[in-house]
Structure 1
C-alpha cells in the first residue's frame, strides 16, 4: 500500500523495528540487496523505531502529527496497547487517515488471528479455483492476495483523503487480505 502511494507521489517514511524489515533478508539477491526488498522498499525512506518503548512511541506520535496517512499492519489492538490508536493519533490532528491492514480485519471472529497472503488465497477460495479441475488447490506463484490488499488499501486511502478534503475529517480504513481477494472472486464464488 505504501509503495503504491509512493508511486503516486507520496513521501513515505517506513518505520522498521531496529532489527530491520525481514524483506531485507528474503529471496534472491542482486547487487548485494534482496530483489524483493527493492520491490517493496521502493519510494520509501526507512527509519528504525522500537514501538515497544516510550521513546519510540513518542517519536512515532511526532511523525504521525504531520502525516496525511498512517498505514499499519499489526494485529488489532496492538497500536492501542502502545497508546498509538486512532483516538490518540488523531487528537489535535482530526484529518489523519489511519489505514489498518490485517489478515481478517479489525473485528469479527478471526480478527485476532494472524494472517497473510497465502491464508487469504486459501480461505477466499482462490486456491480451489486455480489449477486443474481434478487436482489439488493451487496457490499463485507470487503474493497475489498481498498485492490485491495493498492496491485496495492505497485506493481506500486516496478515497479517504478525498473525503477529508470535503469534510475536514480523517477516518480509519480497515483492509482485510481475505476480503480484498474475495472482492475479485465474486462471480466464480457466487456460481
Structure 2
C-alpha cells in the first residue's frame, strides 16, 4: 500500500492528541477516586477544589477534541474517505509500520484508561446513590414520612418504624 508522507504527519499529530487524551483520562480516574475519598471523609473543601479543577480542564479537553476532529478530517481528505468513515483502525492500515505501531499503542492505552474510567465512574455513582439514599432515610427518620420509616433488620428484611426522632405536634 502507498505510504503518504502527509498522512504520516497527520498520524504523528494524532498520536500527540491521543497522548493528551490519555493524560486527561488518567487525571479523571484520579479525580473520581479523590471524589469518593472526599465524600467518605466528608470534606467539602476538597470536593469544591475538585469541582474547580474539573471546570478549568473542560475547555482544554474541548480544544483537544477540536484538534482530534480536525486531524480526522485531514486524514479523511488524504484517504479520499468521508470523515465519519475514518477511525484509528482505518488510519493504521495506511501508515508505515513504525507509525502504525505507535498509533496502535496510543489506541490500546486509551482503551485501557477508558475501562478504568468506567469502573471508577460506576464506583463513584454507586457511592453517590448510597449517600442520597442514606440522606433520604435520615431526613425521613428525623422529620417523618407519613408517620413511617422503612429500616432493615440484620437479615435484610423490611422493618417499618411507626415513630420519628422528632415530634412536630404541639
What TM-score, normalized by structure 1, do the two folds share? Answer: 0.21
Greater share of helix residues, 1 or 2?
Answer: 2
Greater relative contact order (Cα 8 A, min sep 6): structure 1 or 2?
Answer: 2
What TM-score, normalized by structure 2, do the two folds share? Answer: 0.23
